[in-house]
Amino acid sequence: MKNFKKYTATLLVGLTLGLPSVSAGDSVKMAVEKNGHRVEGQSARDSQRHPEQVLKFFGIDEKSTVIEVNPGGMWYSRILGPLLKQEGLYIGLEHHPASYSAYARYMSNLKKYRSKMKDMNDVFGDKAIAGHLFQLDSPVKPGSVDTAMVVRAMHNWERRNFMAAGLNELHGFLKEGGTLGVVQHREPESSAAETKDSVQRGRWKQSELIKVIEAHGFKLVEASEINANPKDKEAVSVWTLPPRLAGDEEGKAARKAIGESDRMTLKFVKVAK
């Protein structure tokens, strides 16, 4: 009977993803490779972003309660939503519109986030939660979350001056011993740039970011080189590299050959402040 229940659970995961049944432990792999909800071009980035390895490194599976902070273009959302909608819980928290009041177009997009999520019921299901950081009537219960993910966003936290507030809020949402998973563009440790300058190029020194996060009730468990890119040596603006490739045409081929930015991948656990 126990084995039958286990088989039934994994079968439901497969059906939720629009797939044949999958063996226990393979649900993350299937959510990345076969879920049917990812849009054209997204999977082309997998070889440089390594989503399966990242989610497993953060300890996420189909039964997890997960916050994705700043879903943006929903690259990870379209993996997490189908993975979690049957047995887990997906929570998307966008940046608060008030944090970007000087950027009218972006602020408008942030305000539309909850309605956008509601319109994507096929991806997220009925249980998923959409909200904003620093929302007064937050839909997230304190101490209820297994894992919070912040992917390629903490340079903006520092630039918009809500780094401490964001970390404090996530600390409150996470269970005791819960995981904070961070992927962040990396500034070389040898760089003479101060953080206030490196974040303008999208980057943090790994040692400095760890220090800041640990000062707000977290402890580094492990650092991974899953998303390291040794070709990215010059610490140029991350937006001049793929996939955006902003900037002049001159040198674009060389920047494209570098690939996406060198990134740190960090796993923290919540500890008492």
- Read off the CATH number of the domain in which 85 is found: 3.40.50.150
Kindly state whether residue 229 falls inside one of the protein's structural domains: yes
Please give the pLDDT value at position 6: 46
DSSP H stretches of helix in 69-186: 77-84, 104-111, 113-118, 121-124, 154-159, 163-173
What's the confidence (pLDDT) of residue 215? 98
pTM metric for this prediction: 0.90
Question: How many whole angstroms separate alpha carbon 51 and alpha carbon 46?
Answer: 6
pLDDT of residue 8: 45
Residue 50 lies in a domain: yes
Residue 12 placed within a domain: no
Omega before residue 82 within 30° of 0, cis: no
- The residues of the chain scoring below 50 in pLDDT are 2-13, 16, 18-20
- In tens, the pLDDT along 188-202 reads 999 999 999 999 999
Distance between CA atoms of residues 71 and 149, nearest Å: 10
The number of distinct structural domains making up the chain is: 1
Q: Is residue 180 part of a domain?
A: yes
175, part of any domain = yes
Angle in degrees, CA 45, 12, 42, rounded to 5: 10
What integer pLDDT is reported at residue 9 of this predicted model? 47
- pLDDT score for 20: 46
Q: What is the pLDDT of residue 17?
A: 56
Evaluate whether residue 113 is within a structural domain: yes
- What residue numbers bound the domain in which 168 lies? 41-270
Q: Do the domain assignments include residue 66?
A: yes
Whole-number Å distance between alpha carbons of 270 and 153? 19
Sign of CA dihedral 15, 20, 23, 27: negative
Query: What are the tens digits of pLDDT across the range 111-161?
Result: 999 999 999 999 999 999 999 999 999 999 999 999 999 999 999 999 999
Q: Residue 28 domain-assigned?
A: no
